[in-house]
Amino acid sequence: MGAHITISEASARSGVSAKMIRHYEQIGLIDPPVRGENNYRFYDPRLIHELGFIHRSRDLGFSIADIRALLSLWRDRKRPSAEVKAIALAHIAELDEKAAALQAMSRQLRHLAANCHGDDKPDCPILDNLAAVQSSVQSRK
């Protein structure tokens, strides 16, 4: 088999679990690996490199759709870098939105916690707030 390695070694080298490697193969994110006579998957250095690319992309929070586009651009040596940058900037905007939403949640919860006495009495603005949200959801049904 030469430079081909098994899925467990591919997982160790790329940082992607064997389960996710099989998933990426199933959804067509990576090409199917070579199969040996024993029907085992054998990965070549190019696939290992692509798995590393996917792993780093996932670490940065890119979606599978974005990773598919980025992989396609990466494979195309004549690609315009403007397309890559556009994907990255769109992702940054999404991350900024999520960060702002998390900050708002943190502020709200911090406010509720500051107004909770945290003593042995049952009054709790945190639970009151959560119950109010739940009752408003039920009233919409």
Instruction: Give CA–CA dist 84/68, Å, rounded.
Output: 12
Q: Residue 125: inside a domain, yes or no?
A: yes
Total residue count of the chain as it appears in this document: 141
Total structural domains in the chain?
2
Which residue range is the domain that position 119 belongs to? 87-140
* CATH code (residue 29): 1.10.1660.10
Q: Provide the whole-model pTM.
A: 0.78
90-138, pLDDT tens digit by residue?
A: 999 999 999 999 999 999 999 999 999 989 888 899 999 989 865 555 5
Q: Residue 69: inside a domain, yes or no?
A: no
Q: Residue 82: inside a domain, yes or no?
A: no
Residue 18 · residue 24 · CB < 8 Å: no
Q: Does residue 5 surpass a pLDDT of 80?
A: yes
Q: Residue 107: inside a domain, yes or no?
A: yes
Question: What secondary structure does DSSP assign to 68-94, as a single string?
Answer: HHHHHHHH-TT--HHHHHHHHHHHHHH
Q: Are residues 96 and 130 in the same domain?
A: yes
